[in-house]
Structure formats: structure tokens, C-alpha cells
Amino acid sequence: MKWRIYKHYCRFIHNVDDRPELVDKACLTPHQHGFDPNPPCVFEFIVGSDKWIDFKEIKVKAIKVIESLANSISEDPTDKIPYYDFGTQDTENLTDDLKKLLLIELQHISPVKVQIWLDETRKYSIWDDGSS
């Protein structure tokens, strides 16, 4: 199996629902990722298949699924980095939704596997290994 990786740089705002496991209650209020002093966030779409897949297809479909989950989309005019509002959405569910939607977009390629890596802050990342 060959793995192809598309990296999408962006900024986003979100908040999470309260739950007993949540230690950092600041996450309950809308907060942004990818702004100074931190670098932009990186979504890595990791696509595996024995069949040949064009990188451009992965890019176009990855952006399509990100935009489908955003409540709004804008762009910083100085650096052209997209900015998404994901509303109340934790990154665990966000990466799972991205994986499922990209799998639907790539269902014409069989077999295909999708993993998602989201680097939020350069300190905190989440990886959906595609196993569920």
C-alpha cells in the first residue's frame, strides 16, 4: 500500500461541549487556532491505496469536506490562509467526520484507507488512524 499525504494549512474557531473529562474549561468558549504567536493549523489527509491516486484529487476532495463541515469560511487577505468556523465541535469528532466524508468522496477507489492528522497548536495534535 502506498500512502499519499495532502497538508492543508488553515485557521479555525470552535468550542467544545462540557463533559466531566474536560479539564481546560476555557475550551467551552469559542476560541481560535492558528493565529500569532502560533503558526497556522495543519490538517493532514493521509490516503492509502495500492491504486494510483492523483494528489490534486485528494486536495480538491479534502478541501470540499472541510468546507462542508464549516459554518462559515473566510480568508486572510494578506496571506490567503483559509479561516473556518466549526462552531461547537471537538477535534475528535471533527477528524472522524472528515475521515468518513473523504472516504465517501474516494469510494470509487477500492480499496482505500483514510487517516487524518490535525496539528492544532504545535503542542497538541490529534490523529484518527482510520481504524474505526
Q: Write out pLDDT tens, residues 11-36.
A: 999 999 999 999 989 889 999 999 88
Q: What angle do CA 71, 116, 98 make, to 5 degrees?
A: 30
- Structural domain that includes position 122: 2-94+113-128
Q: Confidence band (pLDDT; 50, 70, 90) for 131?
A: confident
Residue 103 falls inside a structural domain: no
- Total domains present in the chain: 1
* pLDDT tens digits for range 42-87: 999 999 999 999 999 999 999 999 999 999 999 988 889 999 999 9
Residue 106 falls inside a structural domain: no
* pLDDT tens digits for range 105-118: 999 999 999 999 99
Residue 108 falls inside a structural domain: no
Residue 100 falls inside a structural domain: no
CATH of the domain at 19: 3.30.479.10
Query: In this structure, are residues 13 and 25 in contact, taking their beta carbons and an 8 Å threshold?
Result: no
pTM value is 0.91
